Amino acid sequence: MNEQPKISLIDALHLRQTYDAVKAKTVPHHRASIWYYFGGLALFFFIIQVVTGILLLFYYEPTTDTAYKSVQKIVTQVPFGWLIRSLHSWSANGLVLMVFVHMFSAFIMKAYRAPRQMMWVSGVILLLLILGFGFTGYLLPWDETAYFATKIGTEVPKALPIIGESVSSLIKGANDVNGATLTRMFALHVGVLPALSILLVLVHIGMIMLFGSSSPPGMKVTGETRYFPNYLIKEMMVWLLGFAILICVAVLYPWGIGHAYDLANPTEPPPGIHPEWYFMFLFQTLKIVPEWMVIIGFGVVAVIWTLIPWLDKRAGNNKKSPVFTIIGIVAILYMCVMTTWAYISVSQEQKESPASRQEKNSDSTNVK
């Protein structure tokens, strides 16, 4: 009898082409090769987000009566709950930082040029989705800071002519931030955004495997490393280093929780209320430019940024494009300057608040 040929697991799963592509992939060596690792770190922090997010879901209750209490229970009663929440929160910040670094390094190295145009587009969309994670997740603890920051953020679209009120109500699910808003943010944070993000991450990784890593125009390539297993081992070592730093930060600086917000007893926003650091440049811009101009302006910038592969003709011809490099550097400087300015302004607001002055007067009286 003729023996049936043995079929490997890879063939049985119809992954032969994918496996061959991974084996054939190489990573070029040049003086800017270190920037390749930040894309891998972004993926690592995304995985941490998924794992810790699923663990938190077992205990979180998304209603205005129970949200704060459930987070408090996770932090104080659930074994290692404080650590899981701290890892989730800190890795979210790490994810945003790595994605920004990865995006700007890809921009300056012209990694968007043909045939990687759609890889760039998928990366820009992923950045927007990740920022969406930050915005929708901010409200979930239902503390004072989260409530008022979300209230301010959801009021911004009202500045848009004609459609402003409708957009604001669509985001909040009501006329004001309440239980409907919390439910909507929760659904987006744990359902819609993860599904879209995981799909796009797979597409993005697939295109990286298909097209390989790009080398900057005009930069000398000194060699290549086979991705599997040589470069993958190096990348795993970077992941371990990133995880060690994350664990240290999460343990030494546990993510806190503010005072609960009660809809039945509304209070004034605390002094110096502000969003997370990655929205601070936008927050400060809104203070000095009319809101409708900021919304439309940043919308136009986002569209242009997405279309960069087709606008930068020189990079498309594999030539240096200093004008677009300068645009990228100016964008980085703008974000850094506005973020720093925003934190200085917030610090001054907190010092000048009535509560702060009362505390100083109290301290002065005690000294006397």
* CATH assignment of the domain containing 106: 1.20.810.10
Q: Is residue 73 part of a domain?
A: yes
Q: Is residue 18 part of a domain?
A: no
Range of the domain at 262: 25-347
CA–CA distance, 158 with 33 (Å, rounded to integer): 44
State yes or no: pLDDT of 185 exceeds 80: yes
pLDDT tens profile 70-96: 999 999 999 999 999 999 999 999 999
Q: Is residue 287 part of a domain?
A: yes
Q: Is residue 159 part of a domain?
A: yes
Q: Quick check: 136 and 173 in contact, CB under 8 A?
A: no
Tell me if the pTM is above 0.85. yes
Short-list 52, 57, 238, CA closest to 140: 57
Q: What is the pLDDT of residue 218?
A: 84
Lowest mean pLDDT among 23-27, 177-181, 304-308: 23-27
Most confident of 204-208, 217-221, 303-307: 303-307
Q: Is residue 112 part of a domain?
A: yes
Q: What is the pLDDT of residue 357?
A: 52
Please state the φ and ψ torsions of residue 20, each to the nearest 5 degrees. -65, -35
What's the distance, CA 351 to chain centroid? Answer: 30
b/e per residue 10-26 (b: at least 16 CB within 10 A)? eeeeeeeeeeebeeebe
Residue bearing tokens 């997405």: 306
State yes or no: pLDDT of 361 exceeds 70: no
Lowest mean pLDDT among 33-37, 128-132, 340-344, 345-349: 345-349
Q: Which residues contact 221 (CB under 8 A, 6 or more apart)?
A: 28, 29, 30, 215
Residue bearing tokens 């704060």: 68
Q: What is the pLDDT of residue 368?
A: 43
The CB density around residue 175, as the number of other CB atoms within 10 Å, is 10
Number of domains the chain is built from: 1
The CA distances from residue 48 to 52, 131, 247, 348, in Å, are 6, 16, 11, 35
Q: Is residue 78 part of a domain?
A: yes
CA–CA distance, 100 with 102 (Å, rounded to integer): 5
DSSP secondary-structure letter at 6?
A: P
Lowest mean pLDDT among 67-71, 180-184, 193-197, 258-262: 258-262
Q: Is residue 103 part of a domain?
A: yes
Q: Is residue 160 part of a domain?
A: yes
Q: Could you tell me where the DSSP H helices lie in the chain?
A: 9-12, 16-24, 37-57, 67-76, 81-108, 117-138, 144-155, 164-172, 179-187, 193-211, 232-252, 280-288, 291-306, 308-311, 313-316, 322-352, 354-367
Short-list 65, 59, 50, CA closest to 130: 50
pLDDT band at 32 (very low <50, low <70, confident <90, very high): very high
